[in-house]
Amino acid sequence: MNTFAHQQQQQQRFGSYDSGRNQQQQQQQQQQQAQQSQQHGAANGSGAPSSNTSTSSSVWDKFEKGDKIGEGTYGLVYHARSKETGGRYAIKQFKGGREGDGVSPTAIREIMLLREMSHPNIVKLESAHINRSEPSLWLAFEYAEYDLYEMIKFHRDNKENRRDNPHGLMPQYIVKTVMWHLLNGLSYLHQHWVVHRDLKPSNVLVMGEDPAVSPAQHGCVKIADFGLARIFQSPARPLSDNGVVVTIWYRAPELLLGARHYTRAVDVWAAGCIFAELLTLKPLFQGQERKNPGNVLQADQLDKIFRVLGHPSLKTWPELEVLPHWLDNTDNVRVRRPEWGGAGLHAAVLEAMRAAAPGWAQGHVPQECVPPREAIDLMSRMLDYNPTTRATAEEALRHEWFRMDPKPGPNVFRRPGSSVPLVRYPRRPMTLDRIPAVAAAAAGGGAPG
């Protein structure tokens, strides 16, 4: 059985965790569970779900603290090891709210979503830990050694004269396997009426090849960070929200034009942007963000999109006329400018790839790093202006590009049957906020080998 057929079986196997249940009824039950958990949490003073949680005085009673992996809006993430098993984990600490507020709704939402999900391309929540004296909440996740941001950065920063990266560009096998895994994870989320809302390279993790990790998980892509994720109310009703979501470079045009009601299509747009970045090693639409409060028009970001894809029209996107910024003609967004003729996605991607690969003009870039037209066709369907005609994750998985050689595999780093990784990537960096013994253990080795 070839890799693609194997992956199709994996998709069918994990495509639905309860295919016999009516999806709308299932979603309603999830909402009821969330409400009950929040009510129970409020009653016991924690504001967090009580099931699958530990109420020890500190999460560090069970884990040995290591380096800090990252810091975001909602808290800190640490590398840690289980004192009982020695297993490696990522511990997410949520920042405390105002006194008396308890655990933040963001934390509750992340727990409620992740504890209901089980898919190889969704990061696994292992446990939750509540310190009721503060109160504070800590989540323990399976630990992934790599993320797409650092993998892309490695190629971008090491264009020449590197044994591990001789051609600058990311091999097509890696690009295709990453996209196959990512779209499988998105398909699972969207089948169960969950929209992630903050897809970007740093939120897409890749498992390493640590001996403690199951071989089936080696090189497996994981969608992470569900702090902004939401559940749809029903298949027929789009999600409505007052907050601005999705990092600007990956934000769909309907959001940039002020849409308040939007769908899971925003995740597909973000995935299309990630697709382009895997090929070109830089964001395809890299606009300057306006920091003004409110739903301000991100004019520079739209300018970057229009220069590549052209100015949108009512003919191909009828709902455009009701979007607030288009309706109000904010910053003359409806007026077509000469530079908005659209260079074309294929031309823009190839130009960016040539800039990223110093040897391209001399013919030193191998064919395996050059995307076929089928890859750009899939990308264009994911970057369709109209969210109603934009490819879904399921449709993207059926695209002919995935049936072409090299076919996607279960391990991002190496082709099936190969004992040698295509590229040796450095692990995610950590800061020096650590206990020395754990840091030394975490530093053993720099890439899958």
Q: From CA 230, how far away is CA 173, in angstroms rounded?
A: 32
| Catalytic residue annotation | 198
Element (H, E) at 31: helix 23-43
For 36: left if phi > 0, alpha if psi spans -120 to 50, otherwise beta; the answer is alpha
DSSP 178-206: HHHHHHHHHHHHHHTTEE-----GGGEEE
Given a contact cutoff of 8 angstroms between Cβ atoms, the answer to whether 383 and 273 are in contact is yes
**Sequence-ordered alpha helix ranges (H) in 312-435:** 324-327, 345-356, 373-382, 393-397
Q: From CA 193, how far away is CA 234, in angstroms rounded?
A: 7
92 annotated to bind ligand? yes
Kindly calculate the radius of gyration of the chain based on its CA atoms and give it in whole angstroms. Answer: 22
The length of the chain is 449
Q: What is the largest CA-CA distance in the chain?
A: 69
Given a contact cutoff of 8 angstroms between Cβ atoms, the answer to whether 41 and 54 are in contact is no
| Binding residue numbers for ATP | 92
